[in-house]
Amino acid sequence: MSTNRGAAGSPLTWGLALLFLVPIDVAITRTPLLWGPTSYENTHDLRLVQLAETYKTARKLYAPERPARVRVALLGDSRLWFAAHEPYVERQLRRRAPELDVRVDTLAVFGALIGDMEVISRHLDRQAPSVVVLAIGGQELVPTADGELQHWPARLLNVGWRDGPLPPASQAERLDRWLRTVWPLYRFHEFARAALADRIFPGTPAGRPLPDHFSSSREVFDYFRTAQAPEVEAAYRAWREHPSLPAFLDYVLVGHPLLP
């Protein structure tokens, strides 16, 4: 038993372990094995959409699609995800400055609260954006029913040596954050597990990417609520033509729960 303990604690053993782990870490965290497309990332299922958007936010930070001289980072929730979709913003920026080499990263997650945005901001040094825009309203500052000011993004992307504005609830959470900070594979182990499972047992693609352009409100409803698009469109038109609270409530009830 003493021999086993001595071998486990020897510098040679630790050195061999590092030689084994480092290539695995690089092979997973810096390749499409982790950051490639998945079958679940475009889901509209409210039970999964926050996790999927957190994953895509991490991908934009750690595996950006292309370099650019000017980099714009937009932080917010799903309202920003829809209204400030990267192609929309880049198209308008190039219209104003055709020669501008710009990349926009919309780091927006469904239901994100102020604590989530603060944690996401800790990763911005990865891309050193030229401009950072924080889109925040009153609802991002209101705690949840259980008193929380953060959701999945703050848990899955939690890094940093120092405590943030919302300190960890325990020393175990602090140690978890430190380990995520120093070890990339542990930082992304939840994402890696899901991505690897999807590579081995790919599921049916859930949803489709947000289009680069909508030419009508009907196309918006077709994207979000394909089966109910005619009904939602009719309620929307009725409200727009005769604006009133009852008409708006009819529209909301028809479109619930996945209104754009």
CA atoms within 13 A on the CB side of 88: 13
CA atoms within 13 A on the CB side of 82: 13
What's residue 142's pLDDT? 85
Q: Supply the pLDDT for residue 260.
A: 45
pLDDT of residue 96: 95
Q: What distance in Å separates the CA atoms of residue 44 and residue 22, rounded to the nearest whole number?
A: 36
Query: Which tokens sit at 215?
Result: 């030419």
Res 242: pLDDT: 94
CA 7 – CA 11 distance, rounded (Å): 9
Query: What are the mean pLDDT values of the chain's consecutive 10-residue runs (260 residues total)?
Result: 54 61 85 94 89 96 94 94 93 94 96 95 94 91 83 95 92 96 95 95 89 90 86 93 93 68
pLDDT of residue 6: 54
Tell me: cis bond preceding 64? Omega within 30 of 0 counts: no
* Per-residue model confidence (pLDDT) at position 258: 47
Each domain of the chain, given as residue ranges in start order, spans 1-30, 37-200, 217-255
The rounded distance, in Å, linking the Cα atoms of 15 and 180 is 21
